[in-house]
Chains A and B, each alone.
Chain A
Amino acid sequence: MGINWFKYSSPQAFHPLAGKMIPWFSVAAGLLIIIGLYIGFFVAPTDFQQGDSYRIIFVHVPAAWMSMFLYVIMAAWAGVGLGLNARPSFMMAQAIAPTGAMFTFIALLTGAMWGKPTWGAWWVWDARLTSELILLFQYIGIILLRAAIDDLRRADRASAVLALVGVVNVPIIYFSVRWWNTLHQGASVSMTASPKMATTMLTAMLIMTVGFWMYSFAVTLARVRCVILDRERQPMWGNQTSIQEVAEAR
């Protein structure tokens, strides 16, 4: 018994490695978020147009970015899984989905909290908001589709295909503020133009974003460890052979 069988295939080798990385990402996430909040609330000045309601940007924009980043990363793992038929890739895709869904929810909720004082409405059916809401439904659909299929390999492939098809929505979200008339303000930061924000505001927002990245790494690695353990308890070789017996047979 014991931990020996972790060595015998890549998910098992990955489990302790992920365990070693999680504390570092967690500490980095905690520190960056504290620094970001400090700059956001105590250093960044009050906005001359929006007053202090603009401070919602320090969670809204990082969460919205993470919702799109995580979707692309999840779809990439799904694609690698389909291409190479690699179980660890599917496990990563599975582990990312709930965190992506959570950040999408946060982006929508903080958006409503910001929309009410600045636009006078919690919600409008404009392109940016609608496409982000669809992203939430996509995440939920991928999670539910996986849960609905008992055969793990079929569940992996089906949810991977759904994730890959849905990636078309990410550029739609990103460019929606340019393609359609919208209440939503344009990109605060873009690759082509200099930022339209005060330096301290931008600094706080970027530090929060890196903090959310570190958080996402930590929490998805922790979740992939759960997925590995849960899956290795399943009978993967058709009969009731346990992984321990397979390990001992080699």
Chain B
Amino acid sequence: MQWGSVSEFFAMGGYGLYVWVSFGVTALCMCGEVLAVWRRHAAAVAETRDGSLGG
């Protein structure tokens, strides 16, 4: 491992901003998509159940 300390790791040799924005936005997009699909599925299941109960 090439990191001497935690702050060295987060500094990324001076490129911390670029590296962490890249990984952070990627993580946000992917987690956000999972959450959005999850909620859409829950809503679709709920509506389908209501629909078939109501005829």
In the complex, are the beta carbons of B48 and A233 less than 8 A apart?
yes
Additional A-B contact list (8), CB under 8 Å, known A56-B18, A226-B40, A242-B52: A2-B52, A41-B9, A42-B1, A52-B12, A63-B26, A110-B22, A225-B44, A242-B55
In the complex, are the beta carbons of A233 and B47 less than 8 A apart?
yes
Rounded to whole angstroms, the CA-CA distance of A162 and B40 in the bound complex is 26
- A1 and B18 in contact (CB under 8 A), knowing A46-B2, A232-B48? no
Q: What distance in Å separates the Cβ of A44 from its nearest Cβ neighbour in chain B?
A: 9
Rounded to whole angstroms, the CA-CA distance of A170 and B51 in the bound complex is 42
Rounded to whole angstroms, the CA-CA distance of A232 and B48 in the bound complex is 8
In the complex, are the beta carbons of B25 and A110 less than 8 A apart?
yes
Residues of B within 8 A of A41 (CB): 9
Interface presence of A229 (CB below 8 A):
yes
Q: Which residue on chain A has the smallest CB distance to residue B49?
A: A1
Q: Which residues of B contact A (CB under 8 A)?
A: 1-3, 9, 12-15, 18-19, 21-23, 25-26, 29-30, 33-34, 37-38, 40-41, 44-45, 47-48, 51-53, 55
24 A-B interface contacts by CB (under 8 A):
A1-B53, A46-B13, A51-B13, A52-B12, A53-B12, A53-B15, A55-B12, A55-B15, A56-B19, A56-B23, A59-B26, A60-B22, A63-B26, A98-B33, A110-B25, A219-B34, A222-B37, A222-B41, A229-B41, A229-B47, A233-B47, A242-B51, A244-B52, A244-B55
In the complex, are the beta carbons of B25 and A222 less than 8 A apart?
no
Q: Is the interface of B mostly helix, strand, loop or mixed?
A: helix
Chain A 203-219 residues near chain B, CB threshold 8 A: 215, 219
- A: interface residue count bin: 35 or more
Interface presence of A146 (CB below 8 A):
no
Q: What distance in Å separates the Cβ of B31 from its nearest Cβ neighbour in chain A?
A: 11
Q: Which residues of A contact B (CB under 8 A)?
A: 1-2, 41-43, 45-46, 51-53, 55-56, 59-60, 63, 98-99, 102, 105-106, 109-110, 113-114, 116-117, 215, 219, 222-223, 225-226, 229-230, 232-233, 242, 244
Rounded to whole angstroms, the CA-CA distance of A102 and B34 in the bound complex is 12
Q: What distance in Å separates the Cβ of A132 from its nearest Cβ neighbour in chain B?
A: 15
In the complex, are the beta carbons of A59 and B22 less than 8 A apart?
yes
Residues of B within 8 A of A113 (CB): 18-19, 21-22
Rounded to whole angstroms, the CA-CA distance of A69 and B22 in the bound complex is 21
Rounded to whole angstroms, the CA-CA distance of A222 and B44 in the bound complex is 12
Rounded to whole angstroms, the CA-CA distance of A42 and B52 in the bound complex is 53
